[in-house]
Amino acid sequence: MSDHASRFVLACEAMESIKEARVLPAFERLFHERGLLAAIRSDNGVPFASPNGLYGLSRLSVWWLRLGIAVERIKPGHPQQNGRHERLYLTLKKEATRPVGANMLQQQARFDAFIEEFNTEHPHEALDMKTPVEVYSPSTRPYRGLVDLDYPFHDRDVLVTACGRICMQRKKINISTVLASQRLGLKEVDEAIWLVSFMHYDLGYIDLEQKTLQTIDNQFGTRLSPM
């Protein structure tokens, strides 16, 4: 991962798997060291997004949202929207993975050497021929973990179960497993019609008669800030 403004490479970890259970601790270590980012831009693949998750969210991206990090996704099949990262990945692959390390420790050593050289020895024209380390500064937002969610302007709140459901008036409504253990806000907007919110994001409406969540416009789709 890199900081767009400074080109500074924040981290690169060798992993045997990109499952969320392994990736999330790596991000946690990064946030402890560098502070929280304003936004993270990614493609639509695992673990950043989930094809079966509500609005394409994954457990990882839900965690980012909880930390106040905006989720940005490029359009599928449009890598140019993340051009700087794509160029960096190609350079990283060429210089640090060909050939790959004999084991994870050796591969991590190659990544670390690449990052040190890239950040401290490579001037960039876009940085007035300075190196990334000369212009980078850590985030001023420290990582302190998650704060409890509350919904003072809703009628009630409810916890999503491990299987991705909520219970209302003895009825079970499927929401999404990516929101398991998250607290949602509920507000009745019409008879048996409830607005469902996660943080300040409205997810859709529950019709208690149909026992379904009707989604609305995707607030987590393609949304790119200036680079």
Q: Using an 8 Å Cβ cutoff, are 107 and 101 in contact? A: yes
Question: Closest Cα partner for 20 from 72, 63, 81, 68?
Answer: 63
Q: Using an 8 Å Cβ cutoff, are 74 and 67 in contact? A: no
For 223, what's the count of Cα atoms within 13 Å in the CB-facing half-sphere? 10
CATH number of 20-135: 3.30.420.10
* Pair of tokens at residue 218: 């995707």
Q: Using an 8 Å Cβ cutoff, are 48 and 76 in contact? A: no
CATH 3.30.420.10 positions along the chain are: 20-135
Under the banding of pLDDT at 50, 70 and 90, the label for residue 77 is confident
Residues forming a β-bridge with 201: 198
Phi and psi torsions of 173, nearest 5° = -120, 125
Residue range 104-126, pLDDT digits in tens: 999 999 999 999 999 999 888 87
Highest mean pLDDT among 40-44, 51-55, 65-69 belongs to 65-69
